[in-house]
């Protein structure tokens, strides 16, 4: 029987966990024996069919930075991003699939086939990015049975391994993204209340701040630049990361910089780092406050703060949270691994719900009491043209039908009316976003709904959106007079994303690509 | 003539019979001016019952707890219908003949129900029921229509001479049985559609002055700004129905205005805005601000002087400042501001407490943070920029 796996596809590191015979998640080490695999890719110059993923790829950046890729998660779902190597344009989905393929390949070697998997994503990822992540998994040869929000996965692991009860705030500061999630936990029953996140806030941003200090110190001393090539940058990015990690343990870190104008010994103190990253930490503070406001809670209502992600090791982060909540945050489990471990648990729960007959009895029994209620990650709406109260003019606006943070499964209905006499069709737009201004929302699907001819204006159209436990959305547009119905199961093909046949073709193409 | 035969008329006859005393009271009420009172008294003189006569009275209608001013259109005299049962209807049309019959202006209907065909011209229709006899005489005044004044759009404000035309016709064939007309003087207290059109044109002319003032606020008028204003003026100041000569005059006027501002002259923007507020509704004022914002962004950078003047214009034009800020976010993103002012860009006010400021900034952060994943890279960049700016502002205001 194939393994049930959970994958943390991180910005800087990725990991894979599987459920053991009694339903407990375990991290599977990669071929190098490491539990975390750097999310780095290197296209070997010598052998164009060999692509290196992991630590070797990370180190190869110093040799030829142009042939390396890092932090691809930040580009996930970006249809304009392409990495050109030897004349081939790689999409973020294809590049991510290489990392997933490496994880799958290494784990399969020791533990047997890895097929059904849940991949984690930041809570704030929109549908386009979620779909792109799923596509990457499919291209890697996985059967992606679900997507789980990283803080939810982490909390799932915490709640099933530790005594957690009450209102829990999960503070997930990873390599490239930040999420804050508030949930209500009663033993093994977890109800998500709300999530907030920042797509461009994580460890790599702290590294960049350290790197800026190094560059400035060198410039001040020699009047010249420390970094003159992409290879130099790759090297000093790693130096900066090393300094940041050292400063989590010590008050000061010393480095010798070998620059073109001469060598420089620099000392960076913890205070210097904290000053440099204070505006970034302020952004996490704002998001915590926003999440608390959304949940209608005060800091004193929070019973536990759980830390997730390597960047939570920074003392300023922990001090800041203790100051805000009045008690120290919980860091009793490995903050780098809990997302993958929770994703494996989520995969087990999904399998139990979807294909219970395929779940071994030991796993079924291990997950028996675990219950999770997730929420809608974004608001979904449609575009309409009401009369503006202030100006009396007709304005085009986005009307939210399904609100963010509504517990799943959910359904919501609103009534709209045709605008003109003899109107024979309605342009139906499905939007994702929190704004009423159409400029600021993403139109994720567009259809034409044909109506009977020769009717007066103001004919009612009933619009119903529903969202199920597997994060699938269904939209129904109903012309009440004629009984005509337009149903849309949410898919991203209209936005130029990959269709099923494209994925199949890409999956076949990726099968021939070797990763090491 | 039996009541059952013509139910429509029967109802109004009954109403009219007992209405004399009520009418006098009504005439003396504060809703009628002296001219109308005299007009109505004249209407009380016995009309020639051999022909159809009509008169109009001003009245008030109660609907729930509110009252509406209305015209009661009444007829008396003879209706000569062809033999046999006729299903009769009355139609009432109104024209404004204040400037003489030759220059009659249409009266429009706000309600689609009382519009004629594809035009908005007012025409009220009522069903009078069946007229069994060939000749019928109404010996007393009978109301054939109560026309709510709110339904009407008159051409101008002030004392208007309105000509009412009543036509009694066969509902099936459309054949006209009888026709009558009368005039009524009405004191219109609201702006007419011609006044509004003129006001809109005037406001657009003033908009051009304000737009040039924004362009010249930093003492530099860029060609792209001037071209934008000129194009706007050509498209918005009504020249489509006028001769080439008038269009030429517009071009000359624009050139002269450019020269005026380029010489370093200034206009009193506050006074212009006051006039705009008096003559046009808020929608037009937002249009003016839209133009001014586009002028400020035309050369890619909005200077401190330009942004400051824009804010003042919004205040003077008495628009919702929060809505103006949202307009600015769209048209003039913060990256175009020469100096980023949290008060203007984020709406932070000096009288806000620390906690209010924090909550306000959190709200702004939530809004922009949700936009960072927008599919449009331009919006993504703007959102990233705003998220960073809010975090900086928070340090400044809350720390």
Question: A-chain residues within 8 Å CB-CB of B391?
Answer: 279-280, 282-283, 286
B372 with A439: Cβ contact below 8 A: no
The CA distance from A277 to A300, in Å, is 26
B320 with A390: Cβ contact below 8 A: yes
H or E element, residue A68? strand A68-69
Question: A-chain residues within 8 Å CB-CB of B372?
Answer: 198-200
The CA distance from B74 to A326, in Å, is 81
A392 with B388: Cβ contact below 8 A: no
Mean residue pLDDT of chain A comes to 90
pLDDT over 70 percentage in chain A: 97
Closest residue in A to B366 (Cα–Cα): A290
* pLDDT attached to residue B241: 63
Minimal CA separation from A33 to chain B, in Å = 36
The CA distance from A374 to A150, in Å, is 12
The CA distance from B277 to B271, in Å, is 10
Minimal CA separation from A206 to chain B, in Å = 15
Spatial CB neighbours of A334, under 8 Å, sequence gap ≥ 6: none
Closest residue in A to B394 (Cα–Cα): A282
Q: Is B114 helix (H, G, I), strand (E, B) or coil?
A: helix
Q: Residue B1's pLDDT band (boundaries 50, 70, 90)? A: very low
Q: Residue A365's pLDDT band (boundaries 50, 70, 90)? A: confident
Mean pLDDT of A290-314: 94
Q: Residue B255's pLDDT band (boundaries 50, 70, 90)? A: very high
Q: Which of residues 186-225 of A touch B (CB under 8 A)?
A: 196-200
How far out from the chain centre does Cα B381 lie? Answer: 40
Size of interface A-B (CB pairs under 8 A): 80
Residue A389 to residues A331, A386, A392, A423, Cα–Cα distance (Å): 52, 9, 5, 24
Question: B-chain residues within 8 Å CB-CB of A393?
Answer: 283
* pLDDT attached to residue A128: 83
Q: Residue A39's pLDDT band (boundaries 50, 70, 90)? A: very high
The CA distance from A290 to A436, in Å, is 19
On whether any CB of chain B is under 8 Å from the CB of A287, the answer is yes
On whether any CB of chain B is under 8 Å from the CB of A439, the answer is yes
Q: Residue B345's pLDDT band (boundaries 50, 70, 90)? A: very high
Phi, psi (rounded to 5 degrees) for A230: -65, -30
Minimal CA separation from A154 to chain B, in Å = 23
Contact residues, chain B to chain A, C-beta under 8 Å: 281-283, 286, 320, 323, 326, 330, 358-359, 361-362, 365-367, 369-375, 377, 379, 384, 387-388, 390-392, 394-395
The CA distance from B394 to B315, in Å, is 26
On whether any CB of chain B is under 8 Å from the CB of A274, the answer is no
Spatial CB neighbours of A301, under 8 Å, sequence gap ≥ 6: A167
Nearest to B78 by CA among B138, B166, B7: B138
**Facing B391 at nearest CB: one of A125, A279, A442:** A279
Residue with tokens 């007393």: B140
On whether any CB of chain B is under 8 Å from the CB of A397, the answer is no
In this predicted structure, which of A114-118, A250-254, B92-96, B116-120 has the lowest mean pLDDT? Answer: B116-120
Minimal CA separation from B59 to chain A, in Å = 29
Q: Evaluate if residue B374 carries a pLDDT over 70.
A: yes
pLDDT over 70 percentage in chain B: 86
B379 with A290: Cβ contact below 8 A: no
* Tokens standing for residue A447: 């259809």
**Facing B366 at nearest CB: one of A290, A392, A433:** A290
Phi, psi (rounded to 5 degrees) for B274: -60, -45
The CA distance from A515 to A42, in Å, is 10
Question: B-chain residues within 8 Å CB-CB of A290?
Answer: 362, 365-366, 369
B375 with A128: Cβ contact below 8 A: yes
Q: Residue A163's pLDDT band (boundaries 50, 70, 90)? A: confident
On whether any CB of chain B is under 8 Å from the CB of A130, the answer is no
The CA distance from A177 to A75, in Å, is 12
Residue B161's DSSP bridge partners are: B185
Closest residue in A to B287 (Cα–Cα): A391
* pLDDT attached to residue A468: 84
Q: Residue A516's pLDDT band (boundaries 50, 70, 90)? A: confident
B283 with A434: Cβ contact below 8 A: no
A434 with B358: Cβ contact below 8 A: no
Question: B-chain residues within 8 Å CB-CB of A122?
Answer: none
pLDDT digits (tens, 9 = 90+) for B202-253: 999 999 999 999 999 999 999 999 999 999 998 888 655 667 888 888 899 9
Minimal CA separation from B111 to chain A, in Å = 14
Q: Residue A127's pLDDT band (boundaries 50, 70, 90)? A: confident
Beta B176-188 vs B108-109: how paired, if at all? unpaired
Nearest to B182 by CA among B284, B54, B275: B54
**Facing A293 at nearest CB: one of B362, B377, B387:** B362
* pLDDT attached to residue B376: 87
Minimal CA separation from B369 to chain A, in Å = 7
Minimal CA separation from B377 to chain A, in Å = 9
Packing angle between helix B354-371 and helix A270-294, nearest 10 degrees?
A: 90
Closest residue in B to A179 (Cα–Cα): B369
Minimal CA separation from B371 to chain A, in Å = 6
* pLDDT attached to residue B202: 92
Q: Which residues of A74-98 are buried (b: 16+ CB within 10 A; e: fewer)?
A: bbbbbbebebebeeeebbbbbbbbb
Mean pLDDT of A221-240: 90
Mean pLDDT of B110-114: 90
* pLDDT attached to residue B285: 96
Residue A387, CA atoms < 13 Å, CB-side half-sphere = 5
Mean pLDDT of B294-317: 96
Q: Evaluate if residue B37 carries a pLDDT over 50.
A: no
* pLDDT attached to residue B5: 34
**Facing B392 at nearest CB: one of A198, A279, A495:** A279
């Amino acid at each position: 029987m194939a393994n049930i796996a959970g994958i943390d596809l991180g910005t800087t590191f990725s990991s894979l966990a599987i459920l053991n015979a009694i339903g407990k998640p375990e991290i599977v080490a990669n071929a190098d024996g490491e539990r975390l695999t750097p999310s780095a890719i290197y296209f070997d110059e010598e052998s164009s069919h060999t692509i290196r993923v992991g630590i070797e790829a990370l180190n190869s950046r110093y040799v030829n930075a142009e042939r390396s890729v890092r932090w691809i998660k930040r580009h996930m779902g970006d249809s304009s991003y392409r990495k050109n190597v030897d004349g081939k344009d790689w999409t973020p989905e294809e590049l991510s699939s290489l990392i997933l393929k490496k994880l799958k390949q290494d784990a399969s070697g020791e533990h047997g086939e890895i097929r059904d998997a849940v991949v984690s994503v930041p809570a704030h990822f929109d549908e386009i990015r979620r779909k792109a992540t799923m596509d990457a998994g499919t291209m890697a040869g996985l059967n992606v049975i679900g997507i789980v929000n990283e803080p939810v996965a982490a909390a799932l692991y915490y709640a099933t391994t530790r005594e957690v009860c009450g209102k829990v705030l999960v503070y997930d500061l990873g390599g490239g993204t930040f999420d804050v999630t508030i949930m209500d936990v009663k033993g093994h029953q977890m109800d998500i209340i709300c999530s907030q996140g920042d797509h461009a806030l994580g460890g790599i941003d702290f590294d960049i701040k350290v790197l800026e200090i190094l560059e400035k110190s060198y410039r001040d001393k020699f009047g010249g630049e420390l970094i003159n090539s992409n290879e130099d940058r790759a090297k000093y990015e790693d130096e900066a990361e090393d300094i940041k990690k050292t400063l989590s343990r010590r008050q000061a870190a010393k480095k010798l910089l070998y620059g073109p104008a001469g060598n420089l010994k620099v000392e960076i103190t913890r205070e210097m780092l904290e000053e440099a990253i204070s505006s970034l930490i302020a952004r996490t503070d704002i998001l915590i406050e926003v999440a608390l406001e959304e949940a209608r809670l005060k800091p004193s209502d929070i019973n536990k703060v759980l830390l997730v992600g390597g960047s939570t090791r920074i003392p300023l982060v922990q001090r800041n949270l203790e100051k805000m909540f009045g008690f120290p945050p919980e860091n009793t489990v490995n903050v780098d691994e809990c997302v993958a471990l929770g994703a494996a648990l989520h995969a087990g729960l999904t399998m139990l719900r979807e294909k219970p007959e395929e779940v071994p009895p030991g796993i079924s029994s291990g997950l028996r009491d675990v219950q999770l209620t997730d929420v809608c990650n974004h608001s979904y709406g449609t575009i309409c043209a009401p009369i503006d109260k202030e100006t009396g003019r007709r304005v085009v606006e986005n009307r939210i039908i399904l609100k963010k943070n509504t517990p799943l499964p959910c359904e919501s209905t609103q009534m709209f009316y045709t605008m003109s006499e003899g109107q024979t069709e309605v342009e139906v737009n499905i939007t994702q976003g929190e704004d009423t201004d159409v400029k600021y929302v993403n139109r994720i699907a567009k259809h034409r709904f044909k109506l009977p001819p020769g009717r007066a204006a103001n004919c009612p159209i009933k619009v119903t959106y529903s969202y199920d436990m597997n994060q699938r959305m269904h939209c129904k547009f109903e012309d009440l007079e004629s009984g005509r119905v337009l149903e849309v199961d949410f898919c991203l093909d209209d936005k130029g994303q990959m269709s099923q046949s494209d994925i199949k073709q890409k999956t076949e193409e990726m099968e021939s690509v070797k990763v090491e | 003539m039996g009541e059952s035969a013509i139910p429509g008329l029967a109802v109004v006859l009954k109403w009219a019979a007992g209405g004399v005393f009520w009418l006098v009271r009504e005439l003396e009420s504060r809703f009628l001016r002296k001219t109308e009172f005299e007009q109505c008294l004249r209407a009380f003189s016995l009309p020639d019952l051999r022909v159809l006569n009509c008169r109009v009275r001003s009245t008030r209608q109660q609907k729930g707890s509110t009252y509406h001013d209305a015209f009661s259109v009444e007829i008396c005299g003879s209706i000569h219908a062809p033999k046999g049962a006729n299903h009769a209807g009355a139609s009432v049309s109104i024209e404004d003949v204040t400037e003489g019959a030759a220059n009659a202006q249409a009266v429009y209907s706000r309600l689609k129900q009382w519009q004629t065909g594809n035009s908005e011209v007012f025409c009220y229709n009522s069903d009078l029921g069946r007229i069994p006899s060939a000749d019928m005489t109404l010996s007393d005044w009978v109301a054939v229509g109560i026309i709510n004044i709110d339904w009407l759009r008159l051409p101008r404000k002030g004392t208007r001479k309105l000509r009412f035309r009543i036509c009694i016709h066969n509902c099936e064939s459309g054949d006209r049985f009888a026709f009558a007309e009368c005039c009524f003087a009405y004191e219109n207290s609201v702006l007419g559609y011609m006044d509004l059109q003129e006001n809109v044109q005037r406001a657009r002319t003033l908009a051009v002055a304000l737009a040039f003032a924004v362009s010249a606020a930093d003492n530099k008028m860029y060609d792209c700004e001037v071209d934008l204003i000129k194009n706007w003026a050509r498209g918005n100041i009504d020249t489509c129905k006028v001769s080439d000569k008038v269009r030429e005059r517009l071009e000359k006027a624009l050139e002269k205005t450019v020269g005026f501002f380029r010489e370093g002259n200034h206009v009193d923007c506050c006074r212009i805005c006051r006039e705009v507020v008096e003559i046009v509704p808020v929608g037009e004022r937002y249009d003016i601000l839209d133009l001014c914002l586009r002028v400020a962004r035309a050369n890619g950078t909005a200077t401190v002087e330009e942004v400051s003047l824009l804010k003042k214009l919004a205040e003077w034009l008495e628009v919702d400042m929060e809505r103006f800020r949202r307009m600015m976010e769209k048209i003039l993103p913060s990256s175009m501001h020469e100096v980023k002012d949290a008060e203007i860009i984020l709406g932070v006010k000096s009288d806000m407490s620390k906690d209010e400021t924090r909550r306000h900034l959190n709200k702004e952060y939530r809004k922009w943070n949700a936009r960072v994943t927008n599919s449009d890279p331009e919006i993504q960049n703007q959102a990233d920029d705003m998220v960073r700016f809010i975090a900086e502002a928070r340090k400044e205001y809350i720390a």
